[in-house]
Amino acid sequence: MGSGAAAGSVRTRYLVYFQYLGTDFNGVAAVRGAQRAIGVQNYLEEAAERLNSVVPVKLTISSRTDAGVHALSNAAHLDVQRRSGQPPFSPEVLAKALNTHLRHPAIRVLQAFRVPSDFHARYSATSRTYLYRLATGCPQPDQLSVFEQNRCWALRADSLDVAAMQEAAQHLLGTHDFSAFQSAGSPTTSSVRTLRRASVSPDLPSPFVLPQESRRLRFWSLEFESQSFLYRQVRRMTAVLVAVGLGALTPAQVKMILESRDPLGRHQTRVAPAHGLFLKSVLYGGHGDLATGNPAWAQWDYQPDDFSPETRGPKAGGLE
């Protein structure tokens, strides 16, 4: 997979999938310095320290999410350089080790793969899908189940004009300059993106809502797929589509907003709350199909002391 600087040592690159509830974090990216805020990456890299790599492990995150945004499946690559004579960790051992040493219950490593040394978690991605959850029939914040709080955008309205939202979403499909849906601070030089899918649909009733409340509360899902998105593009598109669903905008106005390329226009300042957004999937050629996989780490009996400072790596029985 690649040679390290130390004689005889081997550097191996891994693609790691992980998920998290974003409520407690200042986004997924690591927060450096003495700030009190902390990112998901901080915890993952802290767990990776226990791998005892010759070179400290740093993660390269595929998709950066803001504070409060969740991920059903995000991805990152990392390099582990073992000492001379020690074979690379199997992906199953790596995933199990990271989960064992993670110190936050809202983060979980899903699976790991060995990838070529030139693989890049951000630039090699071929598809990213975001899910946004809405709830209607919630005039007051305390009328939403505590199990759904911070996991959807609770709207006061009793219903949404889904047909109008679907019509408006069609105007966003395809290749466009999405400047009108971009927030300031985006590092990209081009605002042209190709939106492959934009769907609006009723969601299944929440299992966390009491039967007597289920007649009032309804849930809705918006999904967006593209190879990449601009900063806060999904939350801005969601806010505009919700405005259509509430009757504040028409589908034709959404087309006008898109064509204006003006992020500071009258209707473009709306941004949907972070807590309703989930990064659903990141896909790569040959990787990313977790649904058909059979993670072997679930069958491997990992012991925490297998990575003790004395042993400098897993015991022989734990390697493939």
Active site residues: 66
Which tokens go with 138?
A: 């919630």
With 0-12 CB in 10 A as exposed, 13-18 as middle and 19+ as buried, what is 310?
Answer: exposed
DSSP state of 275: G
Which tokens go with 69?
A: 């945004």
With 0-12 CB in 10 A as exposed, 13-18 as middle and 19+ as buried, what is 106?
Answer: middle
Which tokens go with 62?
A: 């595929």
Which tokens go with 73?
A: 């499946």
Alpha-carbon gap, residue 163 to 166, rounded angstroms: 5
Residue 290 CA: distances (Å) to CA of 84, 97, 241, 305: 33, 19, 31, 29
Alpha-carbon gap, residue 49 to 245, rounded angstroms: 48
Contact 36, 245 (CB under 8 A): no
